Amino acid sequence: MARFHNRKKKVVVKPIVKKQQQQQPNVDHITGNKIPKSFVFSRGKLPGPLRQLQMDLRKLMLPYTALKLKEKKRNNLKDFLNVAGPMGVTHFLILSKTETSPVLRVAKTPQGPTLTFKIHEYSLAVDISQSQLRPRCPQDLFKNPPLIVLSGFAAADEQLRLMTTMFKNIFPDIDINTVKLSSCQRILLLNYNKDTKLIDFRHYSIRLQPVGVSRRIRKFVQNHQVPDLRNLQDVSDFVTKAGYGSESEADEEAATVTLTSDLSRVNRASTKSAVKLQEIGPRMTLQLTKIEGGLCAGEVMFSEYGNGGNKKKPGNEEGNEKEDGENDGQMEDSDEDDEADNEEDMEEGEED
């Protein structure tokens, strides 16, 4: 009888090759300046709308932020600071909730200062989108950082100068001689009202439309679609026929610019295009309540409630002074935490 042998098949183990994430540069190759990066996270428990506001702020800060930053309850401020150093993070945006109102802290790492804002009102990006007839949010809208425009901050007050410096440095510098028009797709507008001491926080997308070109022609050129001419007597009727949107929208001289380079099939160089701003959110109304010299601690340089001066707040004590019902103890560092585990938990995925 023939004997059959069970021959073992060779097992081939293929190595798992992980897709390397695209590392973002730390220095601008044109200006040579350090590119600011940010972490947007929360302290304490937040309700659902504030959680969504946190995600909206992360999208606003793209591409130089951690869109998928992981947070755990045991993570404290020291853990975020330990991870921020190797990753080149320069600013923290920290959301928290007090008994009276939400609070936004904007801090410069690693040693401050820290600006604390009371959020009087806010609207989410989804709320603004639902209120618009034609919401607009292209896929490549967040590939470049927004342009920042400050209005009403030209004053001699020290706190206004500090706010101006903080907001300017939170985004990369722009060289007007080398910047590409195609990269300017968003605007962050901060308007300070000296009478109410409130800051209007608005986020817009930039859209260009050629002047003197009807909407029919724009859609035809952009979409590469053959127009339906069955009900027309002549092709000129398609060009001159009204009733398909506004044919003379944005023809004002003050709202037009002359392009220096080609941006699209309808926005060509040396032609005039109208600048359109469309709000994409989030929207906030902020009030500066406190400025601290350190990272969420240190000397109180300014206080809206008159408790400023040269008071110092230790960084490792809880239950210190509270302004506007803020629980500063939530921001303090704890001495005993497994820092290695926390750093691994907070490893984030940068936006490709």
Residue with tokens 């150093």: 85
Q: For the whole prediction, is pTM greater than 0.75? A: no
- Among 201, 232, 198, smallest CA distance to 216 is for 232
Give the tens place of pLDDT for each residue, 323-334: 444 444 444 444
Q: Could you tell me which residues are beta bridge partners of residue 188?
A: 148, 203
Question: Cα 244 vs. chain centroid, distance in angstroms?
Answer: 35
> Which of the pair, 74 or 209, is modelled with greater confidence?
74
Question: Cα 167 vs. chain centroid, distance in angstroms?
Answer: 12
Residue 252: predicted pLDDT? 45
Residue 259: predicted pLDDT? 61
Q: d(Cα 306, Cα 328) in Å, to the nearest integer?
A: 17
Host H or E run for residue 241: none
Residue 134: predicted pLDDT? 85
> Which of the pair, 350 or 188, is modelled with greater confidence?
188
Give the tens place of pLDDT for each residue, 73-131: 888 999 999 999 999 999 999 999 999 999 999 999 999 899 999 999 999 999 999 99
Q: d(Cα 118, Cα 102) in Å, to the nearest integer?
A: 6
Domains of the chain, start order: 37-207+279-303 (3.40.50.10480)
Contact 199, 191 (CB under 8 A): yes
